[in-house]
Structure formats: C-alpha cells, structure tokens
Amino acid sequence: MESLSGHTIVCGYGVVGQRIVETLHEHGIKFVIVEYDHNVAAKSMEKGYDVIEGDATSSHVLKNAGIASARAIAIAMDNDAKNLFAVLTARDLNKNIFIATRANDKLVREKMIEAGADYIVMPQNSASEEIIAEITK
C-alpha cells in the first residue's frame, strides 16, 4: 500500500461500498477497501481488489490503507456511530482529505459536519425523494 498516492479509501464493502468500488473501478480510479468482516474482505480480494482487513475506525488500519497520501475516503458502513468515529479519525490523520460518508439520523449528520465530513448522504431521504419524484410526474 505504500506505493499508493492520490487514491480513495472505501470503508465498508456492503451494498453501498460495493457500488462505490464498482464505479471507481469503471473510472480507473485507484482505491483500497477497508473491511472488518473476514469473509467479505476475502471475497473482495478474490476480485483482485486491494483490501485492508480491519476496523475503519482504527488509526492503525487507516494508516495501513495509506490515508496520509489518499485523495478521498468514502465511509459507507451500516453503523452511524462507526461512520462518525471513522470521520473523526480520518480528519485527524489527514487534514486535506475529502471525506464522504452516509448517515441515517439527522442528529448524527450534524455531528459528522462538526467532525469534518465534506459530503454526507442520507439514503432514506434520497430514496424517498426519488420515489416522490416518480409518483408526482
């Protein structure tokens, strides 16, 4: 991982993380996946992806993923508290990194802004807005 620079770190390889990785791969953008679950990490390694198996809230793990030289980090775990802690950790380790994350709760969203997140998506809001847009056409 030491040779990576200007890459994106993707934390969590669930449904959202997989879609992020697919898009990065399609656009030829360098990335590293950080995944806690051994089985999920192994499956992503089988696809030929660079993977760090570990907890994305850990400074040590993010350092191993090359956060010091990364351009961006996508924090896409299914747990708001873990996402918030990962935002705090990422911002502490790299003051200039672009941080995109997800939140399920409005209060957590506000805390993520305070913690240094640059972009926050709320999947429930996005889904409901898309459904409403289609219904009201």
Question: What pLDDT does residue 12 have?
Answer: 96
User: Which CATH number covers residue 103?
Assistant: 3.40.50.720
CB 67 within 8 A of CB 73: yes
Is the torsion defined by CA of 49, 50, 53, 54 positive or negative? negative
**Residue 40 belongs to some domain of the structure:** yes
**Residue 30 belongs to some domain of the structure:** yes
**Residue 127 belongs to some domain of the structure:** yes
Band (3; pLDDT cuts 50, 70, 90): confident
Mean pLDDT of the chain: 92
**Residue 103 belongs to some domain of the structure:** yes
Give residue-wise pLDDT tens across range 10-60: 999 998 999 999 999 999 999 999 999 999 999 999 999 999 999 999 999
Does residue 127 surpass a pLDDT of 70? no
Does residue 1 surpass a pLDDT of 90? no
Q: Which residues pair with 52 in a beta bridge?
A: 34
Among 92, 88, 96, which Cα is nearest to 114's? 88
Question: What pLDDT does residue 125 have?
Answer: 67
- DSSP category for residue 17: H
* 29: containing domain: 8-135
Q: What is the pTM assigned to this prediction?
A: 0.90
Give residue-wise pLDDT tens across range 92-106: 999 999 999 999 888
Does residue 73 surpass a pLDDT of 80? yes
**Residue 94 belongs to some domain of the structure:** yes
The whole-angstrom separation of Cα 88 and Cα 108 is 12
Among 120, 118, 121, 76, which Cα is nearest to 97's? 118
**Residue 1 belongs to some domain of the structure:** no
**Residue 3 belongs to some domain of the structure:** no
Domain tally, the chain:
1
- DSSP category for residue 12: -
**Cβ-based neighbours of 24, under 8 Å, separated by 6 or more:** 8, 10, 30, 31
Question: What pLDDT does residue 24 have?
Answer: 96
Question: What pLDDT does residue 111 have?
Answer: 95
**Residue 42 belongs to some domain of the structure:** yes
Question: What pLDDT does residue 2 have?
Answer: 59
Q: Which tokens is 123 given?
A: 């999947």
Question: What pLDDT does residue 67 have?
Answer: 97
